[in-house]
Structure 1
């Protein structure tokens, strides 16, 4: 498996340069470390909810689409799949991976571009930006749903942001599965990605023959207008 090269001071995790390097070196946006799960992938909950809300008539807006894996996998099951990302390198890959979908460059912070105003029946964000939440009223059709998954058991301010725009949390799921990082380099990359500090002493003190144990976590929210 290809691994991203070591970070530099100007290439901070989740910076534009960092995402561009992942696109160049991995050819996709994904967790850049090897992991061994002790149970089902916690993101399967998000997949199941997404599939439950897709019909041939559903119009979908995806926030932070990365290299387009969801557009490629789920897009053919709905009427329209429109997605955006702030990274041109990832969008170029997405257009190759899901030519039937529509992709646009946007960072989610400025006024919503006309092409992203919908209306959309389902707005999704997989580990993606919560910055889409204030824009939901602009993009959503009547009765629309918002489906989000974050990388920890609690993602700060997601319910609060939804309440601020008059949307209600219809369901919350917190999923935690034991996992192992097989090597020090995998653990270092995982901590870098999550904004945590990897300490070699901790690794050496706690590592097992399977690697270092940790919890792979997801926080999933389904929301709609109050």
Structure 2
């Protein structure tokens, strides 16, 4: 049986609250079959390589806390925020060693998030943290981001405006399949797209409906030449 239909407005506060209650976090509610490595592995490997017992980390848009639980114990301090109270409650239970705060990334930085931080990370999350980097970051800090499209133009634009520069940039695309019509319907609803039966009938094969899982990964640091 496919997962229950999500609300009509994807990525609204009500939509995220329902994800928290029905799926136990910010998770993709459809089955997917990848034809290659998960496109977020580049982010995972890079994040892991940047952590030391002295690293102070700020995570923007932490969701239900999977990164805080997985990577947080390797850092000196893992502080995270999200705008969704339901997700933060889950995050606190998943990563009790981390600090979690309610914030939407707008306006002034709350006192509890002042830092300074050595590493600021955002997985598929808000780019609204970027203008705050000069306030949040230690002098030699780095910023690591992964987004759900091959091009997220506001990331380099906002980094330049904040006085930061790209150090590394990756674009990863992997062939994937949604194996059933129910999975494809759920994916389209999740993405705010229309799922049409005629498209499924025309393009779905033995493995299901093909599509691309794409990610844009960026690592940046303060521009010392500006």
TM-score range, shorter chain: over 0.9
2:146 alignment counterpart: 149
CA distance in 1, matches of 2:7, 2:68: 32
The Cα of 1:44 is off from its aligned counterpart by 0.5
1:42 alignment counterpart: 39
2:98 alignment counterpart: 101
1:135 alignment counterpart: 132
CA distance in 2, matches of 1:174, 1:7: 29
SS at match of 1:45: helix
Matched, 1:23 2:20: yes
1:218 alignment counterpart: 215
Matched, 1:163 2:160: yes
Map residues 188-203 of structure 1 onto 2, 5 A cutoff.
Answer: 188-203=185-200
Deviations 1:64-102 (A, max 9, x none): 000000000000001000000000000000000000000
The Cα of 1:2 is off from its aligned counterpart by 7.4
CA distance in 2, matches of 1:136, 1:190: 33
Matched, 1:6 2:5: yes
Give TM-score, length-normalised by structure 2. Answer: 0.96
CA distance in 2, matches of 1:225, 1:2: 45
Give the one of 62, 66, 81 matched to 1:65: 62
CA distance in 2, matches of 1:158, 1:141: 20
The Cα of 1:127 is off from its aligned counterpart by 0.4
Question: Which 10-residue stretch deviates more, 197-206 or 131-140?
Answer: 197-206
SS at match of 1:175: strand
The Cα of 1:7 is off from its aligned counterpart by 3.4
The Cα of 1:8 is off from its aligned counterpart by 4.1
Give TM-score, length-normalised by structure 1. Answer: 0.96
The Cα of 1:183 is off from its aligned counterpart by 1.2
Give aligned pairs, total: 223
SS at match of 2:121: strand
Unaligned runs of 5+ in 1: none
CA distance in 2, matches of 1:193, 1:111: 31
Q: CA RMSD in A?
A: 1.2
The Cα of 1:188 is off from its aligned counterpart by 1.9
